[in-house]
Structure 1
Amino acid sequence: MSTDHSAYRVDTTSRLAQWRIDNFASCTYRKSDPFKMGLWNWHLSVEKNRGLFVRLYPEHSNLTRDNPPIASFTVRLVSSVGDRKALVHPEIIDKRLKNNDDCIWGIEVPLTGRFIIEVEFLDLKTAPPEGGEPCSIWAEGFTQQQSNAKALASLGRMLMESIHTDIVINASDGSMGAHRAVLAARSPVFHGMFSHNLKEKELSTIDISDMPIEVCQAFLCYIYGNIQHEEFLSHRLALLRAADKYDISDLKEACHESLLQDIDKKNVLERLQNASLYQLPKLKTSCLRYLVKFGKIYDIRDDFNAFLQCADRDLIAEVFNEVLSVWKGF
C-alpha cells in the first residue's frame, strides 16, 4: 500500500507555513514532515483525543538543545473549502520552544472535511550564549565584517561630518554634501554625470527632486557603507527605486532579498506591483504563491478588487494564470 507523502508536506513561503489536511477522519494522530524556518527544522502535529490538539515544535537537534528558538507567531485553522472559515489562536510573543509540549492548542470545535493549519512567524530570536537580550535572526545580515569596520566608519564620517565634500545633492526638501569619487565608484550613472560636460559636473550639484532628504540620506548611507538596519527597513521601497534609477545592483538585490522576508496581507499587493515594475522574479513568485497557493487572496478581497482596477494588464494575467494552475492541481 503506497503512502501519500503530500499528506505530511508543509508548504512554506517567506515567514508563512501551511499544512493541508485533506483527510483526517480515520486518524487520531498525524505529524508533518520537517520544514525549514529560520535556523531550525520544525514539525506540526495534530491529534484527536476528546478534542483536537495542534502542536508546533522545533525538530530535536543539538541546535535546538543549545540554542532553542524564541518565537513570535500566530496559528490559524482554516477550512479549505466553502467560505474558508478560520479559527485563530491568540498571538504568541517571544515564547521559547524546545519540545513538543511547549506550544499546544486545544480546539473543542469539531472539524470536518479538509482544513489548513497555518503558522505565520512574526519573529525568531536567539539568546546570546554569554547572556543578554535575545536578538532577531532576521536582523543579523547587516553586521559589518571586522576587517572592513574602520574603513566603513571613516567613509561614514566623511559623509555625516561633510569632510571635504565636493558636490551638493538637492533632494525635494533639503540638501546635503557628498563626494564625487565615492558616488562615481558606486554608480555608473553618477560616473557618467561627472565624466561628461553635464550640468552636474559644471555646477557641482545633483538635483534629485523625486527623493525626500530622509530617503536621500539613507541612500547615501548605503553607498558609503554605514546604513543602519532600521533605516534600511524603513526605506526599502524608496531605496529600490533609487537603486534601479542609479544602477546600483547590490542595493537592488539587498532590497529584493529583504522584501522577500516579511510578505503579509498588508503589503503583498504593493510588493507584487514593485516586483513587476523592477523585474524582481523571486519577489513576484513569492507574492503570487502567498496570494494564490496560500489562499490569502480570499482575505483581502476588497484590496484585490482595487488592485485589479489599476494594475498592469500583463501582471493581472499572471495572477489569473497562477490561479488557474492551482485549480488544475485540485
Structure 2
Amino acid sequence: MSESAYRVETQSRLAQWKIESLSSCTYRKSDPFKIGNWNWHLSVEKNKVLYIKLFPVISNVTRDQPPIASFVIRVLCSHGSRHTLVHPGVTDKQIKNNDDFVWAIEAPLIGKFVIDVEFLDLKTANDGKPCSIWVEGLTQRRSSATALATLGRMLSESIHTDITIYASDGSIGAHRAILSSRSPVFRSMFSHNLKEKELSTINISDMSIEACHAFLNYVYGSIQHEEFLMHRLALLRAADKYDISDLKEACHESLLEDIDAKNVLERLQTAHLYQLPRLKGSCMRYLVKFGKIFDIRDDFNVFLQCADRDIIAEIFQEVLAVWKGF
C-alpha cells in the first residue's frame, strides 16, 4: 500500500483523508496531521459496522491542554451515485484519546470514499474557562494582554496617579479606581470620609517599598514570577489585610510547592495565622508522617517555646495518630 494511503491533506481548518478501498475486515490509522495546536489521527475500522475515530496524538500538549473541539465530519462516497453521509456535528467536546469520538456507520461503503473533517473551533481551558485558539480567542487574549500592559505602564510611569502609598521606606503613586476595583477594603476607604480619602494617601507601614511594588504589580497585573516568589509572605499578609482572595490563594498554592526543613516551621505558623488548611496539613505531614521533626529537633524545641498553643496541640495530636498506626 502506498504512503499516500495514510496521508491526510489539510487546508486551514479542513482535513481530508482519501481512502481507495477497505477490505471486509480491516483497521487503518492515518498519518498525523496538524490542525490548531495539536497533531491528530483519523482511523477507520471495518467489521460489520464502519467505525470512524478522530483523536489527538498523545503528547505533553495533549495531556496538559486537551483540545475542546467543535467540528463537522462527513463521508463522501463515490461508488455508484455520489452521496454523502453527515454526522450530526460535535460542539465543545473535549477529546483526549481514541475513544472520545467514535462514529459508527452501519450503511455499507464500497469503493473509494473521503473522510472530510471541518473544524469549526478549537479551544483550551484556561483557568477553567474554555478559550478559542483561533481569531476569536486570539483577539480576546491580545486585548487582555494590551490592557494589562497599559495598566502596568500607568503604574510604572505614574500616569495620572491620584493616590500616594507610603511604605516603611518609601512611597509610590497609584490609582484609587484600580485599587478600589481589586479590594473591598480600599473601596471602603475611598467611599467614606476617612483620612485616606481626604488626604489621598494610604499608609502601609508594615511593608517595604520593594514588597509594596510587588503588591501593586500584582494588583495591576504586571508582576513577574521571581518578584512574586521573593515577596510571597508579604504579599500573603497584604492579601489577607486588604481582602484580595485571588492573591491569597496564589500565595497559598505557591507556599505548598517548596516546603523543606528550613522553612516548614515558619510555613506552619503562617498557615495557622492566615487560616490556610492545606498548607497546615502539608507541614504537619512533612514534620510527623515523614519524620522530619527529628531532623530539626533544635529548631523545633525553640518553636515550641513561642508557638501558639493550638498549633502545639495539633502537632502532638498528629504524632499520637501516627504512633497509633504502628
Say whether the fold is shared (TM-score over 0.5): yes
In structure 2, the residue matched to 1:317 is: 313
Q: What CA distance in whole angstroms lies between the structure 2 residues aligned with 1:303 and 1:297? A: 9
Within 5 Å, which residues of 2 pair with 1:33-72? Answer: 63=59
CA radius of gyration, larger in: 2
In structure 2, the residue matched to 1:221 is: 217
Letter of the structure 2 residue corresponding to residue 302 of structure 1: D
Letter of the structure 1 residue corresponding to residue 238 of structure 2: A
Count of aligned residue pairs for this structure pair: 193
In the alignment, structure 1 segments of 5+ residues that lack a partner are 1-61, 68-144
In the alignment, structure 2 segments of 5+ residues that lack a partner are 1-57, 64-140
In structure 2, the residue matched to 1:301 is: 297
1:211, CA displacement in angstroms? Answer: 0.9
1:211 aligns with 2:237: no
SS of alignment partner, residue 172 of structure 2? strand
Within 5 Å, which residues of 2 pair with 1:241-280? Answer: 241-280=237-276
Q: What CA distance in whole angstroms lies between the structure 2 residues aligned with 1:307 and 1:146? A: 49
For residues 147 and 321 of structure 1, do their structure 2 counterparts lie closer, same or farther at Cα, with a shift above 3 Å needed?
A: farther
In structure 1, the residue matched to 2:232 is: 236
1:230, CA displacement in angstroms? Answer: 0.1
**Misfit runs of 4+, over 2 Å:** none
CA deviations on 1:215-250 (whole Å, 9 max, x unpaired) are 000000000000000000000001000000111000
1:146, CA displacement in angstroms? Answer: 4.8
SS of alignment partner, residue 260 of structure 1? helix
Letter of the structure 1 residue corresponding to residue 182 of structure 2: R
1:148, CA displacement in angstroms? Answer: 1.8
Q: What CA distance in whole angstroms lies between the structure 1 residues aligned with 2:246 and 2:181? A: 13
Within 5 Å, which residues of 2 pair with 1:149-228? Answer: 149-228=145-224
Aligned-pair Cα RMSD in Å: 1.9
Give TM-score scaled by structure 2 length.
Answer: 0.57
Letter of the structure 2 residue corresponding to residue 328 of structure 1: K
In structure 1, the residue matched to 2:9 is: none
Within 5 Å, which residues of 2 pair with 1:99-114? Answer: none
CA deviations on 1:46-87 (whole Å, 9 max, x unpaired) are xxxxxxxxxxxxxxxx658x99xxxxxxxxxxxxxxxxxxxx
Letter of the structure 2 residue corresponding to residue 282 of structure 1: R
Letter of the structure 2 residue corresponding to residue 266 of structure 1: K
Q: What CA distance in whole angstroms lies between the structure 2 residues aligned with 1:63 and 1:304? A: 45
1:204, CA displacement in angstroms? Answer: 0.6
Q: What CA distance in whole angstroms lies between the structure 1 residues aligned with 2:320 and 2:146? A: 54
SS of alignment partner, residue 257 of structure 2? coil
1:147, CA displacement in angstroms? Answer: 4.9
CA deviations on 1:118-140 (whole Å, 9 max, x unpaired) are xxxxxxxxxxxxxxxxxxxxxxx
> Of the two structures, which has the highest relative contact order with CA contacts closer than 8 Å and spacing of 6 or more?
1
1:264, CA displacement in angstroms? Answer: 0.4
Q: What CA distance in whole angstroms lies between the structure 2 residues aligned with 1:198 and 1:63? A: 56
Letter of the structure 1 residue corresponding to residue 225 of structure 2: H
In structure 2, the residue matched to 1:286 is: 282
